[in-house]
Amino acid sequence: MEKKYQTFSLRAVFILVLLPLVILGILPSSAAAAGPSAEIFVAPDGNDLWSGTLPAPNTKRTDGPFATLERARNAIRQLRAARELHGPLTVQLRGGTYHRGQPFVLSPEDSGSDAGQIVYEAYPNEKPVISGGKVISGWEKSSGPLWTVDLPEVKSGQWYFRQLFVDGQRRERGRLPGNNGIYTVAQLPDVDTSGWMGDEPEAIGKLPLQAFQFQPGDIRKDWTNLEDVEVVVLQVWMEARLRIKHIDEENNVVVFTGGSWRPLTWTNGYYVENVFEGLDTPGSWYLDRKKGVLYYHPLPDEDMQKVEVVAPVADQLIRIEGDVARGQFVSNITFRGLTFSHTSWSLPQKGYMTPQAELVPPAAFHADGAIQCRIEECTFEGLGTWGIELRRGCKDNAITRNLMRDIGAGCVKIGEPEEPVSDVEETSRTVISDNRFLDGSKVYLAAPGVWIGQSSGNTVSHNEISGSFMWAISVGWRWSYFPLQRARDNIIKFNHCHHIGTGILGSHCAIYALGASPGTVIRNNYIHHVYHSKRWKGAGEGIILDNGCAGILVENNIVHDAVAGGYGSNFNCFGNIVQNNIFAYGKIYQLTVYGDKPKGRPRPKGEVFARNIIVWDEGPLIKEKDWPDFTTLWDYNLYFREGGKPVTFLSGKNYSLEEWREKGLGEHSIIADPLFVDRENRDFTLKPDSPAFKLGFKPIDISEVGPRSK
């Protein structure tokens, strides 16, 4: 339970709390006379009845730092109420762990000003950790390799968790099949005539989304606590995480409490999680909700009497709560040098699915109505959902020089999928720069590293992004040209996106754009090693402009070793310029044009694709056997296929360059060796006599790509 305190100024605290100690001779008079300070201190061994003006307890432990962020926040409110806050104020957190069951909340009255930021930061050379977790101790040896601990709060229904960390490392719940195996969906069941789906009027129509037939024995009625078992169905660029409603073992049919976005046969397989019967793998665990018992199968070198085991209590750690509708914002607050860890999120009774980008789960750090705030040099790790979300009415904020790793979903979420009703409600002008986003999608399998929705004027630059993300960066959120979306004038530049899609779903692409986005620029990014799932072939591209993209400039990017090629675009795009890029060494394709062909009269693609270098040594140049038409502008490009094999266009037609020119797509294009300095080691610097220069190609400098030093 959070403690409540009366509102006094710090000076009043000195008079009412510390002065009696002076009279009794417990505290020297100099401490009472010190007055308010520009620094407030918080420490794990602090006390909220102390003054908060000392970085450590005094020798008699009569004064020292506060114990909680709430007490420091309230002290700032007291200073402001007493008109004693005239400049910057810093709250310094001493090293150690601050365990939280609820998020720390800041409201408009907690704002700083242009003349004085309120800064929450780490004490010099120390590591404060704001943890939403609770340490679990009291382990006892059980049968076989298992260890157990009783958790009365779980049995009483006060606590349940879906994440567990041992010595800072995420551990996986009991899973079937073991060793990261995958079950296959047999087929959809026959029409429901047995009441599987209940009495819902649309039950028959929901059947393909909410049930499937399984192979005999893959799903069983006798599993422990069947209602807590989760079936994770792997779909293309998404997953459905479903709860079991009914099992018909005679017909091998499973019915779920909720459904997926696409039919459940639109899948590459599934696995079953949170199964006691799947605890045969070292490092796995299971929480028995009914018994209140946590089971753990240790790794061979783990001593359960010495390791630290932490499970989350809180879903979120920080909330900035401006009232955007009333024009009341939270401004000029900085978080610096802090570590945020251990959050979770409950699974709804009907399970979980989202069509794209895992946008439903919350973030450890959430903001509405944040203005001119900063999150810098912080670490986010061991989270169950997103890292940071700037949702509604947030403007002119900066997320810089942070490290994120082992994230349950994505790292940074900007804006909303729905159209803001006013300019005030739109989140805009966020700077996301010089961060390292090193791994995500650990729970929600198809998240982007950075997602920008209905939001404009943002800059994503000089970041390093790698790991099991579906996209490194996703910008725009409108599956059509009209109505025009808010996403425009977004700048994606100098990012190093590499080894993307290392998880079970692989990657769709590294940088992804969706919808008309005039003024948006994708420039000077270095992208390499983008993977697809073994079960979803054809994905794993460098840059994709998807349905409805218009008004986007893609230039000066280097993309190599992306499985499905360097660049792809939907049939339904218009007015984009793709120029002066190097797309090299795709595996199954180099370029793709894809999507549902327009119905009726074909719409012109209207794309400028010029002064690009495309080099490859395997697979066809362009994926798609035919285009709706050839009213697109491709010219002044250099093509080169190593090994002496001929260069042809369109995998189904195999046009020669001469035939391609007859289509109006290469009058000035050439087939020639671009003369890279060192193609074997992926040095794409051009030699002085490169024929690309005659086409007007400009050298691409990637020396400044990725995070910069301070």
d(CA 453, CA 477): 5
Which residues, 6 or more positions from 164, have their beta carbon under 8 angstroms from its beta carbon?
170, 171, 173, 285, 294, 296, 309, 310, 311
- Local structure of residue 55 (DSSP, 8 states): S
Please provide residue 641's backbone torsions phi and psi, each rounded to the nearest 5 degrees: -110, 120
d(CA 276, CA 224): 6
Q: What percent of the chain has pLDDT over 90?
A: 81
> What's the confidence (pLDDT) of residue 534?
78
Domain ranges in the chain? 1-92, 95-132+313-345+362-408, 133-174+279-311, 185-277, 449-685
Could you please report the per-residue DSSP string of 637-679?
-EEEEGGGPPP-BSTTT-B-HHHHHHTTS-TT-EE----EEET
d(CA 568, CA 556): 16
Q: Examine the pLDDT at 26 and tell me if it is beyond 50.
A: no
**β-pair type (339-341, 379-383):** parallel
d(CA 110, CA 106): 6
User: Residues 42-63: pLDDT tens digits?
Assistant: 999 999 999 999 999 999 999 9
Nearest to 466 by CA among 435, 498, 488: 498
In angstroms, the Cα distances linking 13 to 7, 353, 556, 582 are 9, 51, 60, 65
Helix %, strand %, coil % of the chain (to 5): 10, 35, 55
Instruction: Region of 110 please: left (phi>0), alpha (psi -120 to 50) or beta.
Output: alpha
Which residues, 6 or more positions from 250, have their beta carbon under 8 angstroms from its beta carbon?
none
Given a contact cutoff of 8 angstroms between Cβ atoms, the answer to whether 638 and 614 are in contact is yes
Report the 10 Å Cβ neighbour count for 127.
Answer: 15
Which residues, 6 or more positions from 40, have their beta carbon under 8 angstroms from its beta carbon?
52, 53, 66, 72, 75, 76, 89, 90, 91, 92
- Local structure of residue 691 (DSSP, 8 states): G
> What's the confidence (pLDDT) of residue 36?
41
User: Residues 510-564: pLDDT tens digits?
Assistant: 999 999 999 999 999 999 999 999 777 779 999 999 999 999 999 999 999 999 9
- Local structure of residue 507 (DSSP, 8 states): -
Between residues 121 and 30, which one has the greater pLDDT? 121
Given a contact cutoff of 8 angstroms between Cβ atoms, the answer to whether 39 and 123 are in contact is no
Q: In the CATH scheme, what is the homologous superfamily, with its name and number, of domain 449-685?
A: Single-stranded right-handed beta-helix, Pectin lyase-like (2.160.20.10)
> What's the confidence (pLDDT) of residue 156?
98
User: Residues 323-359: pLDDT tens digits?
Assistant: 999 999 999 999 999 999 999 999 999 999 999 999 9
Dihedral sign for Cα 689, 693, 697, 703, please: positive
Q: Examine the pLDDT at 448 and tell me if it is beyond 80.
A: yes
> What's the confidence (pLDDT) of residue 602?
59
Given a contact cutoff of 8 angstroms between Cβ atoms, the answer to whether 684 and 560 are in contact is yes
Q: Examine the pLDDT at 196 and tell me if it is beyond 70.
A: no
Q: What is the CA radius of gyration of the chain?
A: 28
Q: Examine the pLDDT at 682 and tell me if it is beyond 80.
A: yes
What's the average model confidence in pLDDT over 380-395? 98
Q: Examine the pLDDT at 148 and tell me if it is beyond 90.
A: yes
Nearest to 245 by CA among 234, 230, 261, 256: 256
Which residue's entry shows tokens 């995070």? 707
d(CA 248, CA 658): 62
d(CA 127, CA 584): 43
Between residues 405 and 654, which one has the greater pLDDT? 405
> What's the confidence (pLDDT) of residue 606?
83
Confidence of residue 191 (pLDDT cuts 50, 70, 90): low
Q: Examine the pLDDT at 85 and tell me if it is beyond 80.
A: no
What's the average model confidence in pLDDT over 152-181? 96
Q: Examine the pLDDT at 193 and tell me if it is beyond 60.
A: no
Confidence of residue 464 (pLDDT cuts 50, 70, 90): very high
Q: Examine the pLDDT at 275 and tell me if it is beyond 70.
A: yes
In angstroms, the Cα distances linking 386 to 192, 409, 560 are 38, 5, 29
Average pLDDT, rounded, for the chain = 91
The reply to whether the predicted model has a pTM over 0.85 is: yes
Q: What percent of the chain has pLDDT over 70?
A: 91
Amino acid 208 reads P
> What's the confidence (pLDDT) of residue 350?
95
Given a contact cutoff of 8 angstroms between Cβ atoms, the answer to whether 310 and 249 are in contact is no
Confidence of residue 190 (pLDDT cuts 50, 70, 90): low
d(CA 187, CA 209): 12
